Chains A and B, each alone.
Chain A
């Protein structure tokens, strides 16, 4: 158990080293003859000096204070924290993938290009789109890219008055933020009592000034909006486009496709649906797929196949341009490619079916203990509210923190914003009934504790390396690095 935190800087001792470099084997010239003295720094940056063992122990110790998917159940709603297959970690470390420079000539990187091309094709099949770009580095990056495509398409038709975009009140925070960066004003539409988009409100809002609608389906309440075809008609009739936020794609693989629902642009999160690890906050990958009429607007270069070889196509005059250096997060795409190949079409469908089954099982087992604001069949995630527990002074945060004591990662809390004291649980398909049953019994116990011993929840967690941290203090008097810590 952690007793005292030391940073790597505090462990530094002059003269220690953890590196091994060769002697200089070319004739040496004094540095000041190579680079003028006024460009050179006076003293080297005060990076830590530690031995290799020190470095290894330090980061191993840090790792122990973390919680990963391999540590235990991680029902973090909207994040799809499924198991990350180990074989993909081996594959991505093959020398023919790690040791490839992005500017090597096409003939020397045919394997890499094939992976990108075929991943794009498979994602197109899974979503019902015509072509994908694998350039975006994350979901939010994909959103930005997709919205720029939307804007470019309208502008190419000299339709320049569409400056607004419709986003439901249940949407992820990145949706309106991405829309703002892409230069759109956001118009919110409300959800109805089913948690679906209110059709009347959509009809009233949709006009020739609206570029399109951004939607997650199933939405962030974990509900599939059954009016999707009417929604698509309303938007398309007024000349708008439909954007699909693929955050919740794990519910519908092989069951239904955004393309068939009427969506024109899709982004996926390979780090959610396609099992690539989250890395403690990236790297992810957020490919963007589009229907045929929007293909010319995809970021360039686009990977093409001549019938003999794969190549990068830069001759794309209508392209929105680049959104990232090189060709995207190749090593992340590679893991998703391997995942899709190992699952196959049946496996992907079973993954979605089981994810939905697991969520409904939790819904059923906990609906008497926690308020269920939308009491109907859910998809891959279920949203409860802690309003029942609030009567005893216990909040969603308290429940989340208490779960840490039971060895679980908590659900997403306070999201979606339209549910008070929200607890958003996404079990994924990679969890067994045994794990779910244990989690359910912990949640039931916590519900009882809320009634009988609310203090126990309010002071939780009790078993972690640190107790609740003072976030207000961190923001009020920011100490953002080692140096400001010692100066202030």
Chain B
């Protein structure tokens, strides 16, 4: 008997007789006999705690973790510093075992934390309103496009080829069956090709999607792109690295109408790709059309301040097929981690993190170029990640470095077939000069 089922056999018998049936099977009388499972399911037999822990440790040990391997891979998920307080606080059962805050009187903790999260996202992005978070950065891009199409009544979208390849894939999947066409505009020297963008704009273009810093790590000129989009009465959707927003002009100031992004960098571990959070912020005009949960301030019967889920008439449990999105949950615990992260780092800490990333990434870039084994791919300014071309086989290089416990970077040829032997290298504040120097030394010593 599982320890997670507290009733004893005797209690179960008492309950059955109270109900007035002889056998537990009598409770399943509505299930036709021919579809009953005969015998036990074909699953491994149950493990005790000790056996389970050993088994899971064995699986964990099969992976090469970033404590033992130096991580220079980024491409949308980053090995940033995570303050210890985050895991302690999100491990409080009142946070992690609670449901969605439908009963506000006993959910003020989650609700106030989300309100603070929404405030922080608005500060970073320069937007008026934020939702309570979405699944991840890629689905946030897709939801932003669906919103733009609803808001403009148009059905065509232009996404940058420098937008994360997985965001573009998710966008294609989300729009495939809803009559929205996604077209892509190209890049020159690693940044959006504005003349290509301009040429592709049509009267039916609902939105222009740009990532900043883009997938190559390069900083785009959002202002110029916003002007082009707005001239065409299209919306600008910017997908941003939240750490970069400590240094870079907030996209809201530069004309973005919707700002989204992958929030993993804000205190969430890499965890082989999830769970992360997608942040989603928009201008006031779009407030009543945004997807997902939103928390608002109000008062109770005695006039005391409190927080509730609000603007719920947008949502699926009220509007059903007319809802602004089918999303039900947010990624509340990940958003809580982000809120605690932004609290811990605060106004100055986040800026320090961003500066350290920028300094170290530029140091790593110069060192790699100096070796003459790597050459420049783009000359445009970057933030914490950059592309370099290896004079040799980049697959052989990353395999060799893996043996030396270095996760060297992301091979861009996976997504950009003409970019052979180009490596995308990310450098966060966690990387030391010694680690960067070791990467450079090992990379050139064949």
Contacts and interface: CB of A to CB of B under 8 A. Distances in A.
15 contacts: A26-B436, A40-B247, A44-B246, A44-B347, A81-B99, A93-B87, A108-B63, A125-B42, A224-B30, A279-B98, A282-B333, A320-B176, A357-B27, A410-B103, A433-B14
Interface residues on A, range: 35 or more
Interface stretch (A137-145, A198-206, A234-242, A387-395): A137-145
Interface stretch (A287-295, A443-451, A475-483): A475-483
Interface string B77-106: 101010101011101111111111101111
B172 interface: yes
Contact of A89 (B91, B100, B124): B91
Interface in A75-117: 76, 79, 81-85, 87, 89-91, 93-105, 107-112, 114-115
B24 A66 contact: no
A229 to B, nearest CB: 6
Given A137-B136, A344-B46, A474-B308, A96 B53 contact: no
A29 B37 CA distance: 69
Contacts of A315: none
A266 to B, nearest CB: 14
Interface in B271-323: 271-276, 287, 293-302, 304-308, 310-313, 315-323
Contacts of B77: 101-103, 326
A213 to B, nearest CB: 15
B29 to A, nearest CB: 6
B189 interface: no
B108 interface: yes
Contacts of A332: 274-275
A193 to B, nearest CB: 15
B100 A280 contact: yes
B440 to A, nearest CB: 12
A330 B37 CA distance: 29
Interface in B217-271: 219, 221, 245-250, 253, 262, 269-271
Contact of B343 (A40, A55, A95, A329): A55
B348 A17 contact: yes
B93 A71 contact: yes
Contacts of B105: 401, 404, 461, 464-469
Given A101-B71, A327-B273, A470-B298, A114 B95 contact: no
B345 interface: yes
B123 A46 contact: yes
Given A50-B343, A101-B77, A468-B301, A341 B47 contact: yes
A307 interface: no
A432 B274 CA distance: 34
A317 interface: no
B7 A432 contact: yes
A65 B108 contact: yes
B148 interface: no
A318 to B, nearest CB: 13
Contact of B4 (A110, A255, A257, A429): A429
A261 interface: yes
Given A299-B173, A465-B108, A280 B65 contact: no
Interface in A325-374: 325-332, 338, 340-351, 353-354, 356-358, 360-361, 363-365
Given A177-B320, A324-B170, 11 more contacts: A26-B360, A44-B347, A97-B60, A100-B66, A173-B315, A254-B37, A256-B28, A285-B275, A321-B169, A322-B166, A379-B27
A104 B64 contact: yes
B321 A180 contact: yes
B347 A62 contact: no
A156 interface: no
B170 A322 contact: yes
Interface residues on B, range: 35 or more
A174 B316 contact: yes
Contacts of B398: 105
B96 A280 contact: yes
Contact of B326 (A59, A79, A143): A143
B95 A63 contact: yes
Contacts of A5: 108, 112, 304-306
Contacts of A96: 57, 59-63, 65
A143 B305 CA distance: 37
Contacts of B346: 12, 16-19, 47-50
Contacts of A348: 41, 43
A453 interface: no
A52 interface: yes
A473 B311 CA distance: 10
A355 to B, nearest CB: 9
Contacts of B305: 5
A55 B7 contact: no
Interface in A205-222: none
Interface string B101-124: 101111111101101101110111
Contact of B98 (A18, A67, A254): A67
B130 interface: yes
Nearest to A326: B273
B110 A325 contact: no
Given A331-B274, A410-B103, A115 B59 contact: yes
Nearest to B131: A480
B5 A351 contact: yes
Contacts of A357: 7, 12, 15-16, 19, 24, 27
Given A100-B271, A112-B272, A257 B18 contact: no
Nearest to B355: A31
A466 B359 contact: no
Given A254-B41, A400-B103, A95 B5 contact: no
A52 B360 contact: no
Interface string B178-216: 110000000000000000000000000000000000000
A223 interface: yes
A61 to B, nearest CB: 8
A433 B15 contact: yes
B344 interface: yes
Contacts of A469: 104-105, 298-300, 306-308
A7 B112 contact: yes
B358 interface: yes
B274 A283 contact: yes
B391 interface: no
B301 A62 contact: no
Contact of A409 (B106, B138, B269): B106
Contacts of B97: 68-71, 84, 277-278
A108 B402 contact: yes
B397 interface: no
B421 interface: no
Contact of B99 (A36, A94, A278): A278
A457 interface: no
Contacts of A361: 15, 18-19
A108 B11 contact: no
Contacts of B14: 433
A74 interface: yes
Given A47-B350, A137-B136, A410-B103, A338 B299 contact: no
A456 interface: no
B334 interface: yes
10 nearest A-B pairs in the assembled complex, by CB-CB distance: A326-B273, A344-B46, A96-B60, A102-B273, A279-B333, A111-B62, A283-B275, A177-B316, A68-B97, A19-B349
